[in-house]
Structure 1
Amino acid sequence: MPAYLLTWNPKNWRWHDLPDVARRLADGLPIEQRWSCGNSRSIAVGSRVFLLRQGVEPKGIVASGWVTKAPFAAPHWDTGRAATGEQAFFIMFAADALLNPAESQPLDVRAHVSGPLAEVQVDAQASGNSIPELVAAALSEAWAAHLGKEDQGLGRGDPELGAMEGEQRRRFVSHRARERALRAAKLEHARANSVDGRIRCEVPGCGFDFESIYGSIAAGFAHVHHLRPLADATAPTITKLEDLAVVCANCHAVIHRGGACRSLEALIPAVRE
C-alpha cells in the first residue's frame, strides 16, 4: 500500500490550533486535517501518511493518518503567496495519532544510521514524498511502539478507499483507523455533492442539518450508518462509500431500535404513507 511523508516546519507555518486538535483526537473525536503535498499528484485515497516536524527541535514524526481526499488545488498555505493568487496542492487525511511537541516527544529516527529507518528523508525539502515499502513498514512499527500501540497496519490498505470490517482481529488499532478514514471520506463525499456544501441526514423526510442548529461547532458533523449490518456478514467484507448513509443521531437510533436495521426509505411514517 502507498505511504507518504508529509513535512511541517514551524519556522514557515505556525500550527496555532495544534494543541486543541491533539486534545480532541485524544478524546476520541474524529479529526480530518488538510495538508500540503508539494508536487505530488498521485496520492490515492486510502494511502498512509506520516507527518514529519522539521526546522526546530524537537524534530521527528508527530502524526499519522489515512488519506481521505486526493490532491486538490487551493490558495497557497503561505498567506503572502496566496495573496498574489498562487496556489498549492493539498490532501485531506483522517488522523489516527497526533502528538503535541510541547507535551510529547516526536519519534526521532535520526539516531538510526543503518537499516530501513535510516532511509527516512528527515531533510526532505518538499512534502508528499513517497516512502519505500520496507522503510514504511519499519516506520509504522517504530511509530506504533513509540505511541505504545500495536502496529497500525501500514501496508494493508486498498487502492480505492474501503475498510475491511466485521473481522475480530488483533490489529484493532488499524481496523478503527480505517473506519475513521472511511467515515471521514463519506462525510466529505456528502458535503462535496450537496448544493450548498452542508451535510444533512439522508433519511427521506428528515434532512436534519447539525450545523444549522448548533452552529460552527457542528460543521461537517453527522452519523454514518451501515446500510448492510456488519452482523449479517458471514465473513469479513469490504465496505465502500455506497454501503454507507449519512444520518442524524435521532434517525440512527430509531433505525437500530430493538436491534433492527430499518431501511431509510421506510423510517418516517409520512414517507411510508
Structure 2
Amino acid sequence: MAWIFQGNPNRFDIDDYLSRYSQLIYWRTNRYIKEISVGDPVFIWRAGSDAGAVAVGRVVEEPTQAQEVKHPEALGDDLWVADELSPTEFKTGIQLSEVRLSTDEGMVARSIAKDDVTLASSTIITVPSGTVFHLSDDEMAALIHLWGAPIDIFPAAGVVEGKQQLRAHYARERSSRLRRDKLSAFRKEHGSLFCEICGFSASAHHPKPFAERAYEVHHRNPLAAAATPVRTTLNDLAVLCANCHRAVHANSHVIENYEELAKLYASRR
C-alpha cells in the first residue's frame, strides 16, 4: 500500500524538519495504524498556501507510540509550533529518499496534482483535512509520474522513461532552505562566498545574479556514514564550488577526499 503523510507548517516546522533530519523522520499517525507496513512507499505533503508533495520515502518503522520509537532523537519534537508532542501518540518511521521543498527543486504543487485527471478525485485534493491518506494504485502511479521518481523508490510501479534527471549524491542535500541558511551565515562570517577547498570566488568570474549559483552545500560527514539519525546543523556543512564538490564525491572515500583536496590547495597558496 502507498500513503501520503500531510503536515501543516502553521503547527509544525516541516521545512526545517525535512531539511535537517534527512535520513529518518517520524510522522504523526492517527489512522490506518494497522494497515501501514514496513516497505510501504510514502509521499510527504505540505499543507497551506504552498501545498504539495515535498518529499518521498519508505516506511521503515510501523506506527509506534512516540515514547517507544527506535530513534527518539529523530522525532523533532522541538519543532512544534502550535502543539506539543504526546508520548502516547503514534508515529511512523520514514526513511527519506528525496526532499524537494520548492517548485524550483521539483516539488509537486497541489495545483499540478489537482489538474491531473486521476489525482483530482483523490482525498488529499477533495478532503484535505487529516494527516494520513491512502493512495490507490492509480493515484500512486499518477503522483509518481508527476514526481518523476527513480524506479528503486517504487519498484512495484511504472515510471516515465526518457525524462532527463540528475540523481547524484547531493539529491537530499540541496534543500533550498538549508542551502540558503548556510550561504547566508557563511557570507555574514566571511564577507563573501568562496569555495572552502580551492578558494574559488564566483564574484570574480560571474555577474552578480549568477554568482551564488556557483556554490553547493556539502555534508562534511556523509549521511550514509551516520550510524543513527542526526540533525544537520550549519556547522556540519561546507560551501564548495561545483567542481570541488564533485571531486570530493568521486568515490566512496568522501571524508578522505575532502581532506586530501584541502591539503593540496592549501600547499599551493
TM-score w.r.t. length of structure 1: 0.46
Q: Higher helix share goes to which structure? A: 2
Larger RCO (CA under 8 A, 6+ residues apart)? 2
Q: TM-score, normalised by structure 2?
A: 0.47
